Amino acid sequence: LASAYGKNPIVWGFLFLAATLTAIYMFRAYYLTFHGNFRGTDAQKSHLHESPLNMTIPLIVLAVLSVVGGFIQLPHFIGHGEYGNLGKWLQNIYVYDVKLAEVPFGTEMILLALTVIMFFTVWFAVYHIYIKKGKMALPDAEYTGWQRLSNRKLFFDELNNVTFVKMIEGMGVGGNMFDKGILNRFVDFIGWGAEDSGHAAKRLQNGSVENYVLIMSLAIGLILIVNFILQ
């Protein structure tokens, strides 16, 4: 976050907001999952059991790595030493040379203090709301205001459906109508015309030499007349 602030404070603000929302979500998920009374039925409660080892062992490994991972790549003001080798180890996989923006030490301490204050503020607020006051999640039908907007993802799906999905579907329907109503009929018309002209020509090709001579004579006469007129 400090490097982001060095690049652009606005970017830092968005990242800080994202970190705050993530902290709220995680504390809320923790307290609603592992604290308070069971909110299911008695039949569901009777079937509760510990997860099997194929689930608990990976979680234990992840928990240990999470604790240890907190001490990897500590900030420089604490002291890199052996704890800063992760960045050096990952340096070879970067396609481009990563140059993080540097900020003054005092600014970095202020940003760190703001992060710590945000963490404990969110922790206290979520604990007070969901443990002290015992607030439970409302049914979707009872959401109002920002809760309803957030639950519906700011109606992004509906907006996307109106502006893009419906338009693309309409283009598809129009293309289908053009394909079947115009292109197909035009191609069919050419086919029908060739077939009908073939049937008509077939009647003339009956093997009668007299008819062939008559048609040839008429054609020659027509050519001579046209040639005479054009001259």
Which runs of E-coded beta strand occur in 137-199? none
Gap between the Cα atoms of 4 and 12, Å rounded:
5
CA 216/CA 222 separation, integer angstroms = 10
Which range marks the domain in which residue 75 is found? 2-137
Same domain, 119 and 23: yes
Of the ranges 42-51, 74-83, 129-138, 169-178, the best mean pLDDT one: 169-178
74 and 182 part of one domain: no
End-to-end Cα distance, the chain: 92
Residues 113 and 198 in one domain: no
pLDDT given for residue 192 in this prediction: 86
Lowest mean pLDDT among 24-38, 114-128, 161-175, 199-213: 199-213
Query: Is residue 81 located within the same domain as residue 43?
Result: yes
Residue by residue, DSSP assigns 182-227 as IIHHHHHHHHHHHHHHHHHHHHH-SS-HHHHHHHHHHHHHHHHHHH
pLDDT single digits (tens) 212-223: 788 888 889 999
Mean pLDDT score, 190-215: 76
Residue 78 within any structural domain of the chain: yes
Q: Are residues 61 and 166 in the same domain?
A: no
pLDDT at 211 over 70: yes
Tens digit of each residue's pLDDT (9 = 90 or more) over 1-20: 777 887 788 988 999 999 99
Task: Report how far residue 33's alpha carbon sits from residue 56's, in angstroms, rounded to the nearest whole number.
Answer: 16
Note whether 121 and 14 are same-domain residues: yes
Mean pLDDT (whole number) for 47-73: 85
Number of domains in the chain: 2
> Whole-angstrom Cα distance, residue 192 to residue 188?
6
pLDDT-derived band at 204 (thresholds 50, 70, 90) equals: low
pLDDT (tens digit per residue) in 39-53: 778 888 888 888 899
Is residue 147 situated within a structural domain? no
Percent of residues in the chain assigned helix, strand, coil, to nearest 5: 75, 0, 25
Same domain flag for 126 and 188:
no
Q: What is the pLDDT of residue 78?
A: 66
Q: What is the rounded distance in angstroms from the CA atom of residue 123 to the CA atom of residue 23? A: 8
Q: How far are the Cα atoms of 5, 27, 31, 135, 137 from residue 40, in angstroms, in the given order? A: 46, 21, 16, 16, 14
- 91 and 169 fall within a common domain: no
- pLDDT band with cut points at 50, 70 and 90 for residue 22: very high
Could you tell me which residues come within 8 angstroms of residue 48 by beta carbon, excluding any fewer than 6 positions away? 38
Q: What is the mean pLDDT of the chain?
A: 82
